[in-house]
Amino acid sequence: MPFIIAFIVILIILAIRCICIVPQANAWVVEFLGRYMDTWQAGLHFKVPFFYKVIKKVSLKEQVADFEPQPVITKDNVTMMVDSVVFFYIFDAKLFAYGVERPLAAIENLSATTLRNIIGSMTLDETLTSRDDINGRITAILDDATDKWGIKVSRVEVKNIDPPRSIQEAMEKQMKAEREKREAILTAEGKKQAAITMAEGEKEAAILRAEAAKQQKIKEAEGEAEALLAVQRAKAAGIQLINEAQPGKGYMTIRSFEAAEKMADGQATKLVVPSNLADLAGTLSALSETVKSDKAGQ
């Protein structure tokens, strides 16, 4: 009886060992008596003990290989350290298992040699400004070379480029000089624009001042003309009133004396009065009467 129980237990253990469950995004490479038989995908599988052997469990997820910095010499003989990152995934588990020994080391060495070949044909300035071009060329070369290993290289990124310290100092000085140059140009442009703006402001101010002076002179001339016209109108009105009042001989004589006084302007010490001044006044009065009668006759 114990023997039967032990036999049943052994059968159960063997049955359990015959059941294989492959996780999602994985593939198992199976051999039958030392030869490749099948690649098991995700799911439930059964194997025959002692005859089937799982030799490789492969993850189909995208993987990242971050390699150590590699010394690279540029076309203009500058040695610098370049750090790269390779993104890849396995599309064929069989080729990955049998294609190459230590596939990650193979990818690292291939990436380093390819990087040296590409950067070796470029100058330092081209290397620093052409990362996208370098990434694309390395990706194409690695992808083509790793197809026979069942590996698909999806992307290669140059993570870091470290030139020698002397080169970095020279680049920093160059960048500083460029910044100072741009600053000087911007300062000069600002002063130029400020001078132009000030000149335009002064020009507009001068034009406004001239326009204001012109308008002032026009207003003054118009005022003087109106004042002169008002004076003449007043004189005309006064003469008209005198004519309408029909002044006598005495009034005309007095007005003659006033006119003579104005001619002297208050500065003459002697005033010579014509002897016939009264006769002149009479004559003026007669003329006034004649003008009036003529107007009345008309």
- For residue 270, being part of any structural domain is answered with no
Check whether 295 has a pLDDT greater than 50. no
Whether 54 and 87 map to the same domain: the answer is no
In a domain, 92, yes or no: yes
Please indicate, yes or no, whether residues 207 and 183 belong to a single structural domain of this protein. yes
Q: pLDDT of 146-188, one tens digit each? A: 999 999 999 998 888 888 777 767 777 777 788 888 888 988 8
Q: How confident is the model at residue 262 (pLDDT cuts 50, 70, 90)?
A: low
**Same domain, yes or no: 157 and 74:** yes
Counted domains in the chain: 4
Note whether 190 and 214 are same-domain residues: yes
Which pair of structure tokens corresponds to residue 272? 């010579």
- The answer to whether residues 2 and 33 touch, using CB atoms and an 8 Å cutoff, is no
CATH of the domain at 106: 3.30.479.30
- Give me the domain span that covers residue 295: 246-265+276-298
Which of 8, 75, 16 lies closest to 44, judged by CA? Answer: 16
pLDDT at res. 159: 84
Residue 94 lies in a domain: yes
- Indicate whether 54 and 78 sit together in one domain: no
Is 141 a member of any domain? yes
Q: Report, as an integer, the average pLDDT of 227-252.
A: 73
Q: Is the domain of 178 the same as that of 147?
A: no
Establish if 220 belongs to a structural domain: yes
| Cα-to-chain-centroid distance, residue 192 | 21
Whether 98 and 141 map to the same domain: the answer is yes
Domain limit, last residue, from 138, 163, 188: 163
Average pLDDT value for residue range 88-101: 90
- Strand bridging mode 63-66 / 79-90: antiparallel
Residue 95: is its pLDDT beyond 70? yes
Report pLDDT digits (tens) over 205-219: 888 888 888 888 888
Query: 80 and 113, same structural domain?
Result: yes
Please name the residue that has the structure tokens 């023997």: 3
Whether residues 156 and 180 fall in one domain: no
The structure's pTM equals 0.54
Instruction: Decide if pLDDT at 296 tops 70.
Output: no
pLDDT confidence of residue 153: 92
Return the pLDDT at 258: 64
Residue at 120 is within a domain? yes
- In three-state form (DSSP H/G/I as H, E/B as E, the rest C), the secondary structure along 197-210 is HHHHHHHHHHHHHH
Whether the predicted pLDDT of 289 surpasses 60? no
Specify if 240 maps to a domain.
no
Report if residue 241 sits inside a domain. Answer: no
